[in-house]
């Protein structure tokens, strides 16, 4: 197997569903900005790219058909640059990077892009026309279960208290607020946000540049979080303040073989090393990383201590309950590893989806961009990315910095 080199990784801001900057922006336009920004930063000509794999959790409506190929054309890649779309729900963006990387490792390709997008303002959670199988739904409806209810199941079964969840959510907001203030989101490409206004009876589009995640709430307090009502169960503990935000966004990563790196004279800064997926009970889908992370570490011949010693972790915050449970099971739940007031934190160091949003099919690619840039900035050898996946799965990947 050949080494897979990462030349660049970039993302758009993540903006709140319906209320955020991208509520009127088409998803293809978000992805075009992310990929064009990626290519501009890399210095690589578009003619070099052979294939573009894009993750999307609900590939329909404006982000439907084969958006990977459509966007390749919109970005003005040549006709021989191919494109495809992949769906593994919340890990779709990471799956896309993994598939592109695996093709390079196998010698089937030399230059590719893996990315993801989701416009949740346009396509709602669950899609526009969900059609669960009627007989199967009677036998086992769990695979269709609301993600919020699965988060409540995790909290109840594994005794993750409301106070713990709110505390985790608070620190996510504080870490993100600090990163925003200190301009640490270097992976973000400024992105045009469409605004439509009526002028003389005609709707006219105006673009406003958006260069920050607009769901971050610096004013968050523990007192305020305690006042929020449960979002999914009347007597539950999962609230809007300890759950991920639904957002719009896109992200992409450029990967190459060693031959291509030499041919195009670029300087990669990391490698894509390992990837694994693991299944779990659908009605507690949030526990997925608890199984996927040990699996990918075993494949790599590594221990979680190797990551803690010289690495960073992006553990997607779909819900505080599931992130905390997974951290506890993996032996990485010590507050010093994730709290905003800790100089030793390695988990979601610039905040997670509770503050920054979880744009479903984009998230895997979005976290990769954030993780890779933080590895580079802090000179950390390893990067571990993981997330739970709707339907009862987890995914995990390991990146390695080229020092």
Task: Check: CB of residue 77 under 8 Å from CB of residue 52.
Answer: yes
Among 15, 280, 358, 373, the active-site one is 358
Token pair 């905390």: residue? 324
* Residue among 15, 56, 75, 90 flagged as catalytic: 90
Q: Say how far apart CA 403 and CA 357 lie, in whole Å.
A: 31
* Rounded alpha-carbon distances, angstroms, from residue 209 to 12, 27, 190, 194, 321: 11, 15, 6, 9, 35
Pull the structure tokens for residue 22.
Answer: 């991208």
Q: Report the distance separating Cα 141 and Cα 136, nearest Å.
A: 7
- Note if 90 is an active site residue: yes
Q: Under DSSP, is residue 279 helix (H, G, I), strand (E, B) or coil? A: strand
- CA 344 vs. chain centroid, Å, equals 23
Helix boundaries (H) for 182-303: 222-226, 258-264, 288-300
Q: Identify the burial level of 3 via C-beta atoms within 10 angstroms of its C-beta, where 0-12 means exposed, 13-18 middle and 19 or more buried.
A: middle
Known catalytic membership, residue 388? yes
Q: Which of 56, 109, 362, 388 is catalytic?
A: 388
3-state secondary structure of 148: helix
Provide the annotated active-site residues. Answer: 90, 358, 388
């Amino acid at each position: 197997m050949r080494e897979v080199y990462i030349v660049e990784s970039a993302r758009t801001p993540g903006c709140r569903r319906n209320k955020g900057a991208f509520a009127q922006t088409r998803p293809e336009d978000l992805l075009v900005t992310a990929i064009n920004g990626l290519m501009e930063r890399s210095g690589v000509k578009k003619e070099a790219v052979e294939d573009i794999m894009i993750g999307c959790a609900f590939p329909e409506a404006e982000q439907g058909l084969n958006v990977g190929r459509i966007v390749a054309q919109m970005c003005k890649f040549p006709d021989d640059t191919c494109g495809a779309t992949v769906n593994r729900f919340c890990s779709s963006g990471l799956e896309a990077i993994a598939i592109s990387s695996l093709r390079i490792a196998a010698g089937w390709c030399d230059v590719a892009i893996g990315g993801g997008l989701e416009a949740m303002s346009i396509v709602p959670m669950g899609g526009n026309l969900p059609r669960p199988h009627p007989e199967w739904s009677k036998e086992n409806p769990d695979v269709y279960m609301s993600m919020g209810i699965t988060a409540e199941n995790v909290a109840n079964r594994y005794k993750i208290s409301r106070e713990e969840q709110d505390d985790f959510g608070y620190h996510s907001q504080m870490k993100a607020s600090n990163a925003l203030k200190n301009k640490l989101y270097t992976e973000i490409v400024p992105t045009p946000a469409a605004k439509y206004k009526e002028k003389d009876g005609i709707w006219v589009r105006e673009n406003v540049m958006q260069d920050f995640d607009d769901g971050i709430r610096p004013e968050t307090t523990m007192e305020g979080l305690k006042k929020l009502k449960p979002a999914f169960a009347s007597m539950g503990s999962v609230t809007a303040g300890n759950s991920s935000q639904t957002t719009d966004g896109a992200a992409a990563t450029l990967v190459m073989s060693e031959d291509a790196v030499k041919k195009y004279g670029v300087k990669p800064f990391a490698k894509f090393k390992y990837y694994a997926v693991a299944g779990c009970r659908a009605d507690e889908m949030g526990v997925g990383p608890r199984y996927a992370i040990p699996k990918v570490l075993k494949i790599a011949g590594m221990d979680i201590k190797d990551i803690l010693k010289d690495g960073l972790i992006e553990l997607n915050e779909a819900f505080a309950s599931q992130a905390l449970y997974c951290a506890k099971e993996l032996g990485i739940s010590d507050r010093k590893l994730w709290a905003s007031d800790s100089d030793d934190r390695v988990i979601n160091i610039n905040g997670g989806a509770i503050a920054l949003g979880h744009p479903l099919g984009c998230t895997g690619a979005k976290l990769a961009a954030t993780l890779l840039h933080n590895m580079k900035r802090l000179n950390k050898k390893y990067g571990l990315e993981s997330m739970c996946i709707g339907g009862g799965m987890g995914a995990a990947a390991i990146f390695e910095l080229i020092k």
